[in-house]
Structure 1
């Protein structure tokens, strides 16, 4: 698991006084990419990019400006060029949102989908 701290900015707050739902997508992107950068070898990070294919978000509780929030990311599975992640966004013990997402690994030079080596996959899939 990878724990990604989240910063909440005033611009993240909507007219209802809490974090706008669209901001959660940015948080998931930051958390998954951060997990990749921390876990993968430097040469793989330089050679590959990730693009989100799908996010399924279940919102549980609102998030506010002064909250201390983290995103816990787990890589669940890799199939070909696709990787599946689970992200839990928390404020202390409270679950704020649960996210299931699917990402495609791209070759940084060509922009085409590419499979990761078994060695790289083994670094972040238990």
Structure 2
């Protein structure tokens, strides 16, 4: 199983009225790292032919992040079957190693021409191994 990671630093734009990261920002980061992972490994042909549709999303807030915190975003797809995958995302304080957010999202592969679900081909499944 391949783990894709990136590090970000919490900025003023990420902070809410309670002086910690706004919950909506975490949702955006979960989506952003999923997209970054896909774009990092999918070929041009795959990108032109397929897209992902979000089916459902679960996010658990374990702690809070504050202005200036360095966060490690990690994502992986442990299982690919049929037309869907479940993507896991963890957001961790990079300095304390404390888990901030744990997320699972079910994504369905869509054929760009038909806009219908389509079976995940082996070339795509390999992108997550």
Q: Which residue of 2 aligns with 1:82?
A: 84
Q: State how 1:48-67 maps to structure 2 within 5 Å.
A: 48-67=50-69
Gaps of 5+ in 2: none
Q: Which residue of 2 aligns with 1:100?
A: 104
TM-score after normalising by structure 1: 0.88
Deviation at residue 7 of structure 1 after TM alignment = 4.8
Deviation at residue 8 of structure 1 after TM alignment = 3.2
Larger deviation, residues 93-102 vs 43-52: 43-52
Q: Which residue of 1 aligns with 2:4?
A: 2
Note if contact 1:71-1:90 (Cα within 8 Å) is conserved in structure 2. yes
CA RMSD, aligned part only? 1.6
Separation in 1 of the partners of 2:14 and 2:118? 34
Note if contact 1:4-1:34 (Cα within 8 Å) is conserved in structure 2. no
Gaps of 5+ in 1: none
Q: Which residue of 2 aligns with 1:111?
A: 115
Q: 1:39 aligns with which of 38, 41, 44?
A: 41
Paired positions, count: 125
Note if contact 2:81-2:120 (Cα within 8 Å) is conserved in structure 1. no
TM-score after normalising by structure 2: 0.86
The Cα offsets for residues 25-53 of structure 1, whole Å up to 9 and x where unpaired, read as 11111111111111222211222211221
Q: In the alignment, does 2:124 pair up with 1:120?
A: yes
